[in-house]
Amino acid sequence: MRRIGAAAAALALAGGLLAAGAVTAGASPSTATSASACPTGWGSGVKGGVTAGAVPLTNIRTGQHDCYDRMVFDVPGGGTVGYYVHYVDRLYQDASGAYIPVGGGAILEVRVAAPSYALESGAPTYPGRVSRPLPGVDISGYRTFRDTRFAGSFEGETQIGLGVRARLPFRVIQLPDRLVVDVAHSWTA
């Protein structure tokens, strides 16, 4: 089982790329890209950032930009949110090993170091249901995103399957109280 803690080496390698390409999560498509070209060089390899936390996930939202589609994980009060993101052939739920079908030409598995429930009470903080599309997320008409699936929370991590058009470059940006995953529309500018 891959854990967020095992991703420290990937963070060190990807850190420079993430810092160089950081964009605020609320940026509009016109301000999110340069006037001349789309960013390149993100790659499609494993990306991870170590920071464990017990603050729960409250929302997942998406947006479209000129050069990429974006998914944002809101963790209010979570500070720097840990993550592990990589392409997989098939999505399997961490706790049970159950196969979860995800549509698209490729699947990004996104693990966020934030449970979808309050640790003290066990009450849900995010209304996702295992194997179902993400609630409130409509990706119809997106250039890159094709499907979303909630895979559950286990041992303080929330697991998401993101179906994309093809295996495309992506980046992950850690911002205060949220995590951003951008998947490029193409490999070239």
| Predicted TM-score of the model (pTM) | 0.81
> Apex CA 91: angle with CA 143 and CA 5, to 5°?
100
CA distances from 18 to 79, 134, 181 (A): 17, 26, 11
One-letter-per-residue 3-state SS of 73-129? EECCCCCCCCEEEEEECCEECCCCCCEECCCCCEEEEEEECCCCECCCCCCECCCCC
Q: What is the pLDDT of residues 70-108, one digit of tens each?
A: 999 999 998 889 999 999 999 999 989 999 999 999 999
Query: For 139-148, what is the mean pLDDT?
Result: 97
State the pairing for strand pair 145-154/106-112.
unpaired
Residues 6+ apart with CB under 8 A from 188: 40
For the chain, what is the radius of gyration of the CA atoms? 15
Map out the domains of the chain as residue ranges: 4-21+45-184
pLDDT at residue 177 is higher than 90: yes
Quick one: pLDDT at residue 38? 84
Residue 9 has pLDDT above 60, yes or no: no
**pLDDT (0 to 100) of residue 34:** 41
| Count of beta carbons in the 10 Å neighbourhood of residue 26 | 10
Task: Tell me the fold of 4-21+45-184.
Answer: Immunoglobulin-like (2.60.40)
Smallest Cα–Cα separation from 179: which of 48, 87, 28, 54? 48
- Confidence band for 37, pLDDT divided at 50, 70 and 90: confident
